[in-house]
């Protein structure tokens, strides 16, 4: 059976619908950076997702080609994720999506090296006849964070974020969002196929102990 990161690492992908603290280790990602409203039809965000999945499935299906990745094992492509921010805004202003800055990512298995990644980008470029120059190999170590499962529309996330903030206040922590530590979302539902009120999204914020 294919290795499923969501099932094997439930502490990072399947939190409860109440805040909890977690320490997130270093992970490698396929990444594309951009800006603007993610809901714009045929916009940069949707184009970025297409690039991410093209590279992700090129790596997954490498087992059938001539490029054999050392240590490869069969796996389920991990879910789409996003790091979000807005210039001059503390947290996220959901009312001004046009100001969003984002890094869309898909986690890479640990066996994928930077060389393997470059091969996959070149392979996807050749097969898809597209420009993959925006795609990058990105390493992030989030460290100490608070996270919570948000169930419902993305526009209703502020209520879950407020609950997370109250949890921090009650437990001696505070948000540590900065230029290098960002609001993070993990999308467990396909918004094209799931009703807004049933969407499952992990919301994760970097934190620190108060006074540090």
Q: What is the pLDDT of residue 211?
A: 80
Residue 36: strand, helix, or coil: coil
Q: In Å, what is the CA distance from 73 to each residue of 59, 68, 82, 190, 194?
A: 11, 11, 25, 25, 30
Contact 179, 161 (CB under 8 A): no
What CA–CA distance (Å, rounded) separates 179 from 89? 11
The per-residue pLDDT for range 134-160, each reduced to its tens digit, is 999 999 999 999 999 999 999 999 999
Tokens at residue 159, please?
Answer: 């209520």
The per-residue pLDDT for range 190-199, each reduced to its tens digit, is 989 999 999 9
pTM beyond 0.85: the answer is yes
Q: What is the pLDDT of residue 91?
A: 82
Per-residue pLDDT, averaged over 182-189, amounts to: 98
CA atoms within 13 A on the CB side of 194: 15
């Amino acid at each position: 059976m294919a290795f499923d990161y969501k099932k094997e690492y439930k502490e990072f992908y399947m939190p409860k619908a109440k805040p909890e603290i977690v320490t997130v280790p270093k992970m490698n990602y396929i990444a594309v950076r951009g800006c603007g409203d993610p809901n714009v039809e045929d916009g940069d965000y949707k184009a970025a997702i297409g690039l991410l999945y093209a590279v992700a499935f090129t790596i997954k299906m490498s087992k059938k080609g001539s490029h054999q990745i050392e240590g490869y094992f069969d796996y389920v492509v991990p879910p789409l994720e996003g790091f979000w921010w807005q210039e001059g805004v503390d947290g996220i202003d959901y009312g001004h999506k046009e100001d969003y800055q984002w890094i869309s990512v898909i986690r890479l298995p640990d066996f994928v090296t930077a060389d393997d990644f470059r091969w996959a980008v070149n392979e996807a470029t050749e097969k898809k006849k597209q420009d993959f120059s925006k795609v990058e190999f990105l390493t992030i170590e989030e460290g100490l964070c608070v996270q919570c499962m948000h169930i419902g529309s993305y526009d209703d996330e502020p209520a879950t974020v407020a609950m997370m903030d109250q949890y921090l206040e009650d437990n001696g922590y505070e948000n540590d969002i900065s230029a290098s530590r960002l609001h993070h979302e993990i999308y467990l539902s396909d918004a094209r196929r799931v009703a807004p009120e049933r969407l499952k999204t992990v919301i994760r914020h970097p934190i620190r102990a108060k006074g540090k």
